[in-house]
Amino acid sequence: MSTGKVYLIGAGPGDPGLMTLRGRDVLAAADLVLYDGLANPLLLRLTNAVCERTARTRIGSDSIVPQEDINTRLIEEARAGKQVVRLKGGDPYIFGRGSEEAAALQAAGIPYEVVPGITAATAAGVYAGFSFTHRDHASAVAFVTGHEDPTRETGRLDYAALAAFPGTLVFYMGLGRIQTICDQLVQHGKPADTPAAVICRASLPTQRVVTSTIAGLPHAVTAADLKPPSLIVVGECVSLREASSWFEQRPLFGQRIGITRPAHQSDDIAQRIVELSGQPVLMPLIKISPVNSAQLAVVDETIRQLNQFHWLIFTSVNGVDAFCDRLWSLGLDSRALSHLKIATIGSATASALEDRSLRADVVPDSFRAEALAAALSESVAGKHVLWARASRGRDVLPDSLTAAGASVTELVVYRNDDIAEFDPEIVAQLRSGDLNWVGLSSPSIARQFAELLRIHRLDPEKIGVQLATISPVTADAARAAGLKVTVEATTYTWDGIVEAICVYADATAKSAV
């Protein structure tokens, strides 16, 4: 077996949008990803590889993996012929141990490539609103380790030189030694009233910034109970910060939002939440899967008899995908639908048709079955209607169309099932109050969320989670299941859910002022 290759990729500071295009492309082609504890797990959506967390720092109850073990693993997996990615927070070489990993690979004769990343300090300054090299205040910036090699008897840092440095100082990994760092700078001549700050979790929705002076910073950090990962910034640039940065002014800053739709359909809405400075939390409560062999036989037979129908109805993107994929598998294409009128519920479903070069004839303004049935009532009398549907759902549509004189055939083209076991990590986040919002996008999802809370004895009000529903139908199902709904979307899509949360957050912020 030929030897594979190892890629040391900088994952950036936290915001998943800050990884390079080269890093994205390499991730997509990887066989194995060993990701660092500071790499945003959302980046793992970019790969189909086996992913394992190999952290050098402790987060929660996760164990620390020794650096030597990581080096050995990279070599062994590459010798097995795999394309291996070592995904590291920030940049692999800026106060990381990427150079040690590269040296081990070089010594073992393993091909490797290093893909640079945006280092934490660069992003921290921009996302916190500091200009490290503002022309009026600093002509240089120094990146300094606040955590030197513990095996050395004496440190290499020259605090006299740092105190005299004509620019901005940025200390990595120094939160545990902040009192010593600040004291040393003052003792070696840095004015005690020099502006200083600590930035925690830079570029993430949980970003926190505390500003003070060098003398007062340790106390301010203790009072704010700041935790790593963090950076210490010393310099006049800190005084230029506004009350909050552009990043912190986005509507969803600090909000963690649970996305309950199937995982394979979460990318677009997760990206939208990130763009608004929110933190998407993937917590699928249902799964979409193919029908069984017996049901598939019925689908195939029905597709072969499309000439018997006058109308074709889709009520979900999944229905469009499952039906059209099967149409293609049978050697047919859109020409087989040329005699049919097509109706959909919702703009997303209509867009899924457009992606297949098909245009819906009827799309009601209100994205619900009642509206679609009303729009079709005068057109389907005496006609044969085919509804490509999920394995479960409301019966409003077929009942209403039948009452209007149509002959309705319900064709199950995909399965919509509840998740068998709830993710323990999600349960833990709910229990600890880490989730601010959960979006509910169907009655079945609403009932499943209520079941999750019941099984784990979680009270929504005590854990502080608020619920946003996609439509009145889903809101009614949530309330019937004993849930309290905070907001309802006015546009019945996931984008509508996010917009409703933004409007609520904005109104809440204004009322607080």
Give tens-digit pLDDT for 80-91: 999 999 999 999
394 pLDDT above the threshold of 90: no
Q: Are 447 and 479 in contact (CB under 8 A)?
A: no
CA nearest to 435, candidates 445, 444, 425, 443: 425
- Residue ranges, comma separated, of all CATH 3.40.50.10090 domains in the chain are 256-285+421-512, 289-418
Query: Mean pLDDT over residues 12-24, rounded?
Result: 95
Query: Residue 181: CB partners within 8 Å, gap ≥ 6?
Result: 146, 171, 174, 232
Q: How far is it, in rounded angstroms, from Cα 93 to Cα 88? A: 10
Section 242-266 average pLDDT: 90
What pLDDT sits at residue 140? Answer: 94
The pLDDT of residue 470 is above 70? yes
289-418 placed in CATH 3.40.50.10090:
yes
Cα–Cα distance between 426 and 190 in angstroms, integer?
47
Integer CA distances (angstroms), 362 to 246, 323, 347, 388, in order: 42, 18, 11, 15
Q: Exposed, middle or buried, 26 (CB in 10 Å: 0-12/13-18/19+)? A: buried
Mean pLDDT of the chain: 92
Give the mean pLDDT of 363-378: 87
pLDDT > 90? residue 14: yes
In the chain, which residues fall in CATH 3.40.1010.10?
5-118
Write out pLDDT tens, residues 424-460.
989 999 999 999 999 999 999 999 999 999 999 999 8
Q: What is the pLDDT of residue 42?
A: 92
In which band, very low, low, confident or very high, does the pLDDT at 367 lie, cut at 50, 70 and 90? confident
Task: Please report, as a single letter, which amino acid is at residue 388.
Answer: A
State the distance between the two ends of the chain, measured CA to CA, in whole angstroms: 66
Q: Can you read off the two tokens belonging to residue 438?
A: 């959960």
Tell me if 260 sits within 8 A of 445, measured CB to CB.
yes
* CATH topology assigned to domain 5-118: Cobalt-precorrin-4 Transmethylase; domain 1 (3.40.1010)
- What's the sign of the alpha-carbon dihedral 243, 245, 251, 255? negative
11-20, 39-48, 60-69, 419-428: which range is least confident on average? Answer: 60-69
* Whole-structure pTM value: 0.85
Contacts of 9 (CB under 8 A, 6+ apart): 19, 23, 26, 27, 85, 86, 87, 88, 92, 115, 117
Residues 6+ positions from 415 with CB-CB distance below 8 Å: 288, 289, 290, 291, 390, 391
Residue 443 CB: number of other CB atoms within 10 A?
22
* Spatial distance between the Cα atoms of 404 and 125, rounded to a whole number of angstroms: 63
| CATH architecture label of 256-285+421-512 | 3-Layer(aba) Sandwich (3.40)
CATH homologous superfamily, domain 122-240: Tetrapyrrole methylase, C-terminal domain (3.30.950.10)
For residue 155, what pLDDT is reported?
Answer: 67
Cis bond upstream, residue 229 (ω within 30):
yes
Please choose, from the candidates 351, 349, 207, 327, the residue with its C-alpha nearest in 3D space to the C-alpha of residue 278. Answer: 207
Burial of 320 (0-12, 13-18, 19+ CB in 10 A): buried
Mean pLDDT of 241-247: 81
